[in-house]
Amino acid sequence: MGLIALYVEDMLGYILAALPFYVGFRFIFLKKKRKITSFKKELVLGMFVLYLVGIASQTIVPNWNAGIVTDTGEPFFDVYFTNELSYVNIIPFHTLYEYFFQTNTNVDGWNSVSILNLTANVMLFLPLGFFVALIWRKYHSIKKVTILGLSVTCLIEFIQYLISKPVKQKKATI
């Protein structure tokens, strides 16, 4: 559970950084359009937008590192648009197959990386369906929410494809 807490903590940093920007832009938008809205609706919409920021922070936002160099006292800010640890996998369900049938033949409860990864991915996208159904009436059907959920995950996978390194191909031996 420590790993999940680390990801949640990282997400909260992005969410807290985005919060004043969202509130400011939303306030200006509502004033400019002279829209009257309810606090409840704005609260749900704000939570949804910040949830999307949290998802983006863990899936597609480039990695960055900032600080001060100890030796010189100079500040630094580095942005990494590619992830050296991830590789492209274009075979659908290949990782799931490995999780269930190859890598972890002796899964020992909830400590397994496979189960943690699967559970975390489900929990990460589960609120999407609840939020869109609360905000927009046209998403009050399971079919539409499922299509939206699949579309969002496919979009994220496509963006990750663009920012990942190509998979290392193994030479076939005969």
Q: What does the DSSP 8-state code read for residue 67? A: E
**Structural contact between residues 131 and 111, judged by C-beta atoms closer than 8 angstroms:** no
Residue recorded with tokens 């939570």: 47
Six token digits for residue 34: 């002279």
pLDDT in tens, the chain (174 residues): 576 777 788 889 889 999 999 999 999 999 999 988 899 999 999 999 999 999 998 888 777 777 888 888 898 887 766 655 556 666 766 776 776 666 554 545 444 666 777 777 888 888 999 999 999 999 899 999 999 998 998 898 888 878 776 555 444 444
> Apex CA 130: angle with CA 46 and CA 112, to 5°?
105
DSSP conformation letters of 32-88? HHT----HHHHHHHHHHHHHHHHHHHHHTSPEEEEEE-TTT--EEEEEESSEEEEE-
pLDDT at 173 (0 to 100): 47
CA distance 139 to 152: 14
pLDDT at 112 (0 to 100): 62
pLDDT at 81 (0 to 100): 65
SS3 76: strand
Helix axes 113-135, 2-33, angle to 10 degrees: 20
pLDDT at 22 (0 to 100): 96
CA distance 166 to 90: 10
pLDDT at 35 (0 to 100): 87
pLDDT at 87 (0 to 100): 62
pLDDT at 172 (0 to 100): 46
